[in-house]
Chain A
Amino acid sequence: MRKSRLLAGVGALALGGAMAIPAGAQTNVGVTLTNPSSSRTLYVEDMAGQPLNTLAFGTNRSLPFRVRVVDNAFSRQQFTVNASMTNLYVDNGGNPDPAQPSIPSSQVSLGSQATPLNILNVAAQVQPLVDTVSTITDTTICSVLGVALAPVNGTNACQLTTSGLTGTVQDLTVPINLSNLTNLPLLPQANETGNFPWAEYGAGTAGATDTAGKNAETAASQTPTQRRMISGQPVSDATVLSALDTVLGAVPQSSLVPTATVVSALQSTYSTTWGLLSQAQITTILANTLATAQALVPGQILSQTGTYMSLPTLNVDTTGAAAGDYLGTLVVTALQ
């Protein structure tokens, strides 16, 4: 679907270019693109949807925020978003001061908001296989094609059948029920909760200059604690496929398979006599053709679209900390 739209767009733009050129100079330029706009994008935001740029814990020492992963016609690949945390260092003129007592990362923890997960706009892009049955009461057509008449629902007719035609790619909207996510083709999981026993000291973070802390962690053979912020796992079980079949069943049958595909399949089946039919007779056949999608199999789910949102809180326990401003870095890593 997306590819078709894109090709149409290229065609329209190319046409625009050609219109500015004298007719005699027109040249056809073949352009082929393959699924270029699929993407998976990570956002770390405050609750108003703005990029999270500060860690303002407030008087209750808790910062609600959200981690949003937006898939756009993305293949059903697993993803994980992890978080690690530096210690909180005393703010010394805008720079972290590791020489002064810090609030260790072990006193910083991830919690969950009342609704820990939200999901929006989920769709699956599927390409079904389609069967067709053309029920023809026109005896001439049946005779030309050499198909015997037989009673069909009380009427004498011949039936032309095709099976396993490659259907049109469908963008199926998947209903979302937050209390039961078993129908989703990519199953998201909200953030885990807990503190960060081992701190982040990576380059560019507030902990980068804390060489003593880093050395102590290395000496203990430890690495920064990673907490899951959100993850997604592809699911292709019967529940998911059945839910998609239900949505697919509501697609108008005229949209299931291109007319040209049906004609081509019938032409191939009745190759010796198809050429004897008039255009009007072919139109009659198509008008009496019923298309039905076969039950989906996992390989026919090409990609999925959706917004998967985890709603954690970042909490700090200031026990033992001196009053003042502190600096720290929350490191969020999306892993494909």
Chain B
Amino acid sequence: MRRLLLLVASGVLLAILAGSAPAGAIETSSFGIDVASPTKDGRLHVEVRAGHTSTTTIRVWNKDTAAPLTLRLSAVPARVDATGAASLGGDATAVKWVSFAVKEITLKPGERRDVEVRVTAPRKIAADQRTLAVMAEPVIAGAAPAVMQRLAVTTYVVPAHGSLVAGLGWLPWIALIVLLAVAVALGRSWLKPPAGPRVMTATVMAGDQPC
């Protein structure tokens, strides 16, 4: 009976959670998007290190309780002005660094899902913070719609302090080992006495006496 009550309470809780949008969420009438872990400004903040991949997570959901919905995810340029106002467009540098665990995601009726966003910085990056937008749009079968609604979350890509140039990993050690091996080989051949020609000389001296 206690289990039954727990189930009832859990059901009530799940029903409430399923029927409500996450805090800070933006939505259309059919789908929504949000940061998976709450942030102070409702935006994504990703700290990156040169040559490394950082990850963060967004949450998307299907508001339709009767039909599935497929969303396409992408990263697009965005800018933020001094007042904090964001708009689309601007520098596309960091857009190329972004990839998604899945580019298209099909959500069951009422389903909510978290998707990993990966930001892979090149081996050398500038110290400047970059901005972009992680965007979701519905994939609609058939003819292109007259009006398409997209939702996007502003994303800050922040280089970690002291990590603007990636290390070379094992490469220097491998190079050092190769250099040492070459040096050893050269050293051995230089130190070794020229045995062959001396033997030849001795042989010639012994065998050619009749001349």
CB–CB B21/A42 < 8 A: no
Count, chain B residues at interface, CB 8 A: 55
Given A42-B28, A43-B29, answer yes or no on A80-B85 (Cβ-Cβ < 8 Å). Answer: yes
Tell me how many residue pairs across A and B have CB atoms closer than 8 Å. 179
CB–CB A204/B140 < 8 A: yes
Q: How far is the CA of A36 from the CA of B19 in the complex (A)?
A: 9
CB–CB A78/B147 < 8 A: no
A262 interfacial by beta-carbon distance below 8 Å: no
Q: How far is the CA of A79 from the CA of B88 in the complex (A)?
A: 12
CB–CB A333/B88 < 8 A: yes
CB–CB A27/B22 < 8 A: no
Chain A residues with CB under 8 A of B12: 10, 13-14, 17, 31
CB–CB B144/A25 < 8 A: no
CB–CB A75/B89 < 8 A: no
CB–CB A330/B87 < 8 A: no
> Which bracket fits the contact residues of A?
35 or more
B175 interfacial by beta-carbon distance below 8 Å: no
Binds B, one of A152-160, A225-233, A252-260: A225-233
Q: How far is the CA of A330 from the CA of B148 in the complex (A)?
A: 6
Chain A residues with CB under 8 A of B23: 34-36, 38, 75
CB–CB B16/A336 < 8 A: no
B153 interfacial by beta-carbon distance below 8 Å: yes
A205 interfacial by beta-carbon distance below 8 Å: yes
| Candidates A9, A10, A94, A205; contact of B148 at CB < 8 Å | A205
| Candidates A37, A53, A94, A208; contact of B146 at CB < 8 Å | A53
Chain A residues with CB under 8 A of B72: 203-204
Chain A residues with CB under 8 A of B13: 10, 31, 33
CB–CB B5/A21 < 8 A: yes
**21 A–B contacts from the bound complex (CB under 8 Å):** A9-B16, A10-B12, A13-B12, A17-B12, A21-B4, A25-B4, A36-B17, A36-B22, A38-B23, A42-B151, A52-B146, A53-B146, A78-B85, A80-B85, A202-B137, A204-B145, A328-B146, A335-B86, A335-B152, A335-B153, A336-B153
